Structure 1
Amino acid sequence: MKKYSVLFLILWAGILSFGQQTYLQCGSLLDVASGKLQNEKTLVISDNRIVAVENGFTQGSGQDQVIDLRALTVLPGLIDMHVHIEGQSSPDRYIKQFTANPADVAFEAAVYAERTLMAGFTTVRDLGGSGVNIALRKAIGRGLTPGPRIFTAGKAIATTGGHADPTNGRSYDLMGDPGPKEGVVNSPEDGRKAVRQRYKEGADVIKITATGGVLSVAKNGQNPQFTIEEIKAITQTAKDYGMLSAAHAHGDEGMQRAIKGGINTIEHGTMMSEETMELMKQYGVYMVPTISAGKEAARNAEIPGYFPEVVAKKAKEIGPLIQDTFSRAYKKGVPIAFGTDAGVFPHGENAGEFVYMVEAGMPVEAAIRAATVTNAKLLGMGDSLGQLKSGFLADIIAVEGNPLDDAGLLAKVAFVMKDGKVYKN
């Protein structure tokens, strides 16, 4: 008889816990779609979703959890559309390509992922690494390590000698001849195979390096590096496989080829002309400005020995230009998504981008909308991420004060919930 009594208690406890909800009592709640604050609201969380937004401070029944955020401003978890979660800029970055094992990269990446989450970025788009980023996405999804929800490109796709060719700067005997499997293409056929290889490996998105880049060990940081036929083959194949496509691009000609070739987002866009801005609007292509990375690269280029000489020269020339280009593009009406290129600067400092965007003339509420509603839509998650609404995933952060008055407050996140689980309070 005692055995059945214990079983009954276990079952009863399970029924009670199954119905438990969490009540977040919010002093102010930011409606990111309208850019307006709403006072004294309560978010009701069940499992990993918001099930109600109630007026006033409510608390449910005795078994429900209540979290007091009445002194804070609550907003959706932020989304960064351009990070490199596997690594972080340092003077020994180039040497580590030869000394770090995949396990070393993985342990560092887990640390960077947690820092990103604790900074209030509950979702990121990782735009290129070694493939460890795919394993990290899986580990976070399984609850093995804390981190943001990751949409990753796996290995970025380049041309031979182009930005993201993994053998740039090596001695001749170590260069070899990487191909589509390694993310290096030289024809439309190669491009299709490279996309299918990324899909096979588990990537979510496709990233190409449409022009030269700053941090690669190659002399040109802006020349076009793909033909338009190659880009079309890549973007069409990506579309066939349901994958968003992004193009790293500093130079104007490479941007125009990428836009006409069907790319979804232009990353950096440093030397974007007025003509290209009009093309962006015409084709509905989004600019992901990454101002933070440009500024950090320019600062580090002034430190003797921080970069190889060929990299430092490009960083000094290109880095300082991005903020001004963003300003002109935004005022011209170019669609803007929020992305930082974290990894070029320290992970966890992503919110500094908001300050730079506001300095360049974008209202803070528009910058926050870019990092929530806009990015969620681009990721195909517009009906479940980026807003605090019933039915949406419970990705929620809170800050002290009013971020609409001071964008810098977004760098001081006091509360983080992702998928209904509290990570910082």
Structure 2
Amino acid sequence: MKKKIAILAASLWTLSTSTLADTVIHAGQFFAGTGDTLQSKMTLVIKDNKIASISKGFKAASAQDTLIDLSDSTVMPGLMDMHVHLSSQHGGPQTYLERYTLNEADYALQAANYAQKTLLAGFTTVRNLGDSYNETVALRNAINKGVAAGPRIYTAAKSIATTGGHADPANGMATTIQPDVGPRQGVINGTAQAREAVRQRYKDGADVIKITATGGVLSVAKSGQNPQFMEDEVSAIVATANDYGMTVAVHAHGEEGMKRAIRAGVISIEHGTYMDKEAIALMKEHGTYYVPTIMAGKFVAEKAKIEGYFPALVRPKAAAIGPLIQDTFGRAYKAGVNIAFGTDSGVSAHGDNAREFGYMVEAGMPPAKALQSAMLNAAKMLKIDDQLGSLESGKLADIVAVKGNPLEDISVMNRITFVMKDGAVVKQ
């Protein structure tokens, strides 16, 4: 009996000490995400999946703790990309054939692959703005359950368009094979269908709503910038989304479409290519975020030079719109518009997301502000800044690190050497 009691006591002691064990990180340089400077020699203590404490100097770890030595690195909050499409990646002419050859499972498996690449690139949270078959709803759930690896996903499921609009899945098809699409498939006309489409996305498990308020570049349709929603339709979408606790992200290149959306109370404008002074003033008045996606513009502008890479209807749009986005971003930033980081990855390659930082800095944004756009700014836009977006005690332990100083050389962000998500190390 005494022996059994001793064994039980030893087992309980082992369980209690393992439960009490922490992860201790020594950070040579530390960027909290709340300021514009680095701090030197800091210690972070991670308990379970949260930051328990942050202190100056390298504090010793106890025998049962795990010590992670990043004394030669700059430690930062996990990065956030507010505009990705995890289900696909543009690869030229064959991309337009995939809707005829791929099934739901194919898109889901592609999404799982690209999600892993995104996480290993240091992006621990993403906003996925458009599926084919709600595949990132399933992927989000799988990641949350721990049966798949990837970033924390906030998904719009299938985007909402009007008939013939940028996200109409029947665009470019012969009339003999065009599917019958409606609010369930994300195609609406009028306020009643607008409300129905939002409610369907709620039913499908979406976290946010995404609409295509103007024409787009890659859709097989003539205009890349015309307004495609009436103002009452956008207002109906925003009001219904608000009832269900969701915000509305808006694809928009043309100024009229984005103005209608801003006045309706959307959370963000994506791309914003032809943003004018009135649109900028409206964004500042309403607190609307701008998600620039400069990388996507660079990508399509470059590929438009290649004969046959895009369909004939797409190529002139890509050549005209793509080169303008970086300049629009520079003007918007200087005017004081709220900026949240976003790449439109899936147009460009997944895992290259951090290249966007370089383009932002080129356009006049200081490196610290560019980083914050993918940290606290993005978290505020998602309304999760009480949990993520900065390195502070009590917040979730999403942490990344690079060798070098990103405030002096922003290109080091392309070489993430350490990733922790929710207290678990996924890259070291």
* TM-score, with structure 2 as normaliser: 0.97
**1:413 corresponding residue in structure 2:** 416
Amino acid across the alignment from 2:363 = A
* Distance apart, 1:59 and its partner CA: 3.0
- Cα shift at 1:335: 1.5
CA RMSD of aligned residues (A): 1.1
Residue in 1 that maps onto 2:72: 71
* 1:89-100 alignment runs, 5 A limit: 89-91=90-92, 92-100=94-102
Contact 2:376 2:390 in 1 (8 A): yes
Corresponding residue to 1:235 among 233, 238, 261: 238
Aligned counterparts of 2:103 and 2:196: Cα–Cα separation in 1: 27
Deviation at 1:39, TM superposition (A): 0.5
Residues 227-376 of structure 1 mapped to structure 2, 5 A cutoff: 227-376=230-379
Tell me how far apart the structure 1 counterparts of residues 349 and 306 of structure 2 sit (CA, whole Å).
16
Find the aligned partners of 1:132 and 1:325 in 2 and give their Cα distance. Answer: 32
Paired with 2:124 and 2:179, the residues of 1 have a C-alpha distance of: 39
> What is residue 60 of structure 2 aligned with on the other side?
59
Name 2:122's counterpart in structure 1.
120
Match runs of 1:102-117 below 5 Å: 102-117=104-119
Per-residue CA distance 1:366-413 (angstroms, 9 max, x = gap): 111111011101111111101111001000000011000011111110
Q: Structure 1: give runs of 5+ residues left out of the alignment.
A: none
Amino acid at match of 2:377: T
Look up the match of 2:208: 205
Alignment match, 2:167: 164
Alpha-carbon separation, structure 2, partners of 1:10 and 1:203: 44
Specify which of 101, 104, 110 is matched with residue 103 of structure 2: 101
SS of alignment partner, residue 175 of structure 1? coil
User: Normalized against structure 1, the TM-score is what?
Assistant: 0.98
Determine the C-alpha separation between the residues in 2 that align with 1:390 and 1:257. 41
Provide the rounded CA distance (Å) in 2 between the counterparts of 1:59 and 1:139: 37
1:85 is matched with which residue? 86
**1:94-140 deviation per Cα after TM superposition (whole angstroms, max 9, x unaligned):** 11111111111111111100110111110000001120011011111
Aligned to 1:135: 138
Distance 2:190 2:398 in 1: 42
- Write out per-residue CA displacement over residues 271-325 of structure 1, whole angstroms, 9 at most, x where no aligned residue: 0111111111111111110000000011112222221111111111110110011
1:16 counterpart = 2:17: yes
Instruction: Give the Cα separation in 2 of the matches to 1:230 and 1:219.
Output: 22
Aligned partners of 2:289 and 2:381 also within 8 Å: no
Work out whether residues 32 and 392 of structure 2, in 8 Å CA contact, stay in contact via their aligned partners in 1.
no
Distance 2:35 2:390 in 1: 11
In the other structure, the counterpart of 1:180 is 183
Q: Deviations over 1:230-283 (max 9, x none)?
A: 000000111111111110000011011111111110000000111111111111
Instruction: Classify the secondary structure of the residue corresponding to 1:214.
Output: coil
Alignment of 1:366-405 (within 5 A): 366-405=369-408
